Chains A and B, each alone.
Chain A
Amino acid sequence: MVQSLRRLKESPSQTAGPYVHIGATPNFSGIEGVYPHDLGSLPLAPEVEGERIVVTGRIFDGSGTPIKDALVEIWQADAQGLYPGQGERRGAADPHFPGWFRQPVDGTSGVYRFETIKPGIVPYFDGRPMAPHITFWIVARGINIGLHTRLYFGDEDKANAADPILGRIEHRLRVPTLIAPRSDADGKPVYTFDIRLQGENETVFFDI
């Protein structure tokens, strides 16, 4: 025998289930009066610096059907590329920008939608710049462990081409699954990021 490392094991994941909205977005699910608003759902404060954008899309299962009961969380840097919250030691992020948002997909159309800002550039661990990106975390009934992926921006061809993460994707045909094309509506850029859990054009998911 040798000495024990005395480490614990991470609690095993279990699916968020069909009623995740009761816990995460109770007001959306009709349980009102418990919390003043659903966490992560408040609109951006006017003071937040940065270009206002819309990020929207649907999540498709392996049959091509949009799923109607998913919950999406996003986490991103501010306009200067600094993370709010904890773990950022390069400087203070925009104090008005939370960096984290959470939305259910629409129960009928399956569409999710975030109004946020375009994030700045964040360095990779070796100091190279990563192209602007938003981290996505998806949970739903039938998903046993939350799925991590990233949205990259369709109007950042040059930065995307130099991005160290995108560069590691061996099957180059899969790179576009992480790149959200841009359109414009109501004077704002709209990035459409459809996520395919399985099947043709399955989105690249990360083990982080």
Chain B
Amino acid sequence: MRNDNSSHQGGSFYQRDRSWHPPAFTPDYKTSVLRSPKYALLSLGNTLSEMTGPVFGHAMLGPLDNDLILNYAQTGEPIGPRIIVHGQVLDEDARPVRGALVEFWQANAGGRYRHKKESYLAAIDPNFGGCGRTITDEEGRYWFRTIKPGPYPWPNGVNDWRPAHIHFSVFGHAFAQRLITQMYFEGDPMIWQCPIVMGIPSREAVERLVAALDRENTLPMDTMAYKFDIVLRGRRSTLFENRMEGN
């Protein structure tokens, strides 16, 4: 199945605003110190290698891929507040990004990841794996069901804790749009104390990663809902563009 954004295919992507994203070197997040390139990035106008990207069809999805409450359940359901996370994947021109693969992963309600390198004392939940995925529909919408993850401590400062969050990986229509980010929860004071979050230069940008409690989509006596929209890079319309063969 092809998912070209047919009305706007072909244009190159808007330059990424590097002053909006966290820089590579954010010394309060200690691991970034030795993992940040020091040289300037080489600016590369989009070529076909960046303007193309893989397609993932709905056929690859299992029926429980977007249900983290059930997709690892062994003896019962996982402990924790039941939530729905939903939203739209858009580009910078607010056009829906259809057919986008969205992957997500997270800690359990106690803040513990199911991972061998995790050393937090909080208990593993035998019924919670912590991963899921879905593909956006014709309007760029996605949704999944999970339990609300807990905050957890991490070895950065002596006593640093991460705010509750869900990791997101998104594939758009081209490799130039590839993005990994994190979703935080409305009202969490720990967002503003986190060295990873605070690597983002502006409060306005951080707020784009804070999902809103969505009472209207809450299921009574069942599940709370959060709305989280994701924006990928936009691309030029091919207005008056003198396009060479092969591009």
Please list the residues of chain A having a beta carbon within 8 angstroms of any beta carbon in chain B: 6-24, 26, 29-31, 33-36, 39, 61-63, 65, 67, 69, 73, 75-77, 83-90, 98-100, 122-127, 130, 133, 135, 137, 139-148, 150, 165, 168-169, 174, 197-199, 202-208
In the complex, which residues of chain B have a beta carbon less than 8 angstroms from the beta carbon of A148?
Answer: 50
- Interface pick from B40-48, B76-84, B214-222: B40-48
Task: State whether B18 touches A197 (Cβ < 8 A).
Answer: no
Query: How many whole Å from B67's CB to the nearest CB in chain A?
Result: 10
A-B pairs with beta carbons under 8 Å apart, 24 shown: A6-B94, A9-B205, A11-B209, A12-B20, A12-B205, A20-B167, A23-B103, A23-B131, A29-B115, A30-B115, A31-B130, A34-B72, A35-B62, A62-B35, A75-B175, A86-B2, A98-B54, A123-B48, A142-B33, A144-B199, A146-B180, A165-B44, A174-B39, A206-B43
Interface string of B4-16 (1 = CB under 8 A from A): 1000011001011
Name A199's closest neighbour in chain B (CB-CB): B38
CB of A7 within 8 A of CB of B93, answer yes
Given A23-B105, A30-B116, A33-B72: A130 and B37 interface contact (C-beta under 8 Å): no
**Is chain A's binding surface mostly helix, strand, loop or mixed?**
loop
Over the window 170-198 of chain B, the binary record of Cβ atoms lying under 8 Å from chain A Cβ atoms (1 yes, 0 no) is 00011110111110000000000000110
User: Which of B22, B35, B37, B72 lies at the interface centre, i.e. has the most chain A CB atoms within 10 A of its CB?
Assistant: B35
A92 to B17, CA, bound (A): 33
User: Could you say which residues of chain A place their CB within 8 Å of the CB of B131?
Assistant: 22-23, 26, 31, 34-35
**A137→B175 CA distance, assembly (Å):** 9
* Contacting pair B53 A86 (CB below 8 A): yes
Known: A20-B167, A23-B131. A87 touches B9 (CB 8 A): yes
Contacts of B173 in A (CB 8 A): 86-87
Chain B residues at the A interface, C-beta cutoff of 8 Å: 2-4, 9-10, 13, 15-18, 20-24, 26, 29-39, 41-56, 60, 62, 64-65, 71-72, 90-94, 103-105, 107, 113-118, 129-133, 167, 169, 173-176, 178-182, 196-197, 199-200, 205-206, 208-209, 230-234, 244-247
Report the tally of A-B residue pairs with Cβ distances under 8 A. Answer: 290
Q: Are B209 and A12 in contact (CB under 8 A)?
A: yes
* Interchain residue pairs A-B with the least CB separation, the first 3: A23-B105, A142-B31, A87-B52
Alpha-carbon separation in the docked complex, A142 to B175 (Å): 22
Task: Give the one of B53, B90, B103 with max A CB within 10 A.
Answer: B53
- Which residue on chain A has the smallest CB distance to residue B229? A11
Q: Distance (Å) between the CB of A204 and the closest chain B CB?
A: 5
Given A11-B231, A29-B116, A202-B38, 20 other A-B residues pairs in contact with their CB atoms under 8 A: A8-B92, A8-B231, A11-B230, A12-B181, A12-B208, A14-B200, A30-B115, A30-B116, A31-B130, A34-B132, A35-B133, A62-B35, A75-B52, A83-B52, A122-B48, A122-B49, A123-B48, A197-B36, A205-B42, A207-B18
**Would you call B244 and A83 a contact (CB within 8 A)?**
no
**Distance of A12 Cα from B45 Cα, bound (Å):** 21
Cβ B32 vs Cβ A13 within 8 A:
no
Across the interface, do A168 and B92 meet the contact criterion of CB distance under 8 Å? Answer: no
Contact B178 A11 (CB under 8 A): no
Residues from chain B with a CB closer than 8 A to the CB of A202 are: 37-39
| A22-B114, A86-B4, A122-B49 known; A198-B175 Cβ under 8 A | no
Instruction: Specify the chain A residue showing the minimal Cβ separation from B10.
Output: A89
The answer to whether B179 touches A198, judged by C-beta atoms less than 8 angstroms apart, is no
Which of A18, A98, A135, A145 has most B Cβ within 10 Å?
A145
Find out whether the CB atom of B49 lies under 8 angstroms from the CB atom of A34: no
The answer to whether A61 touches B114 (Cβ under 8 A) is no
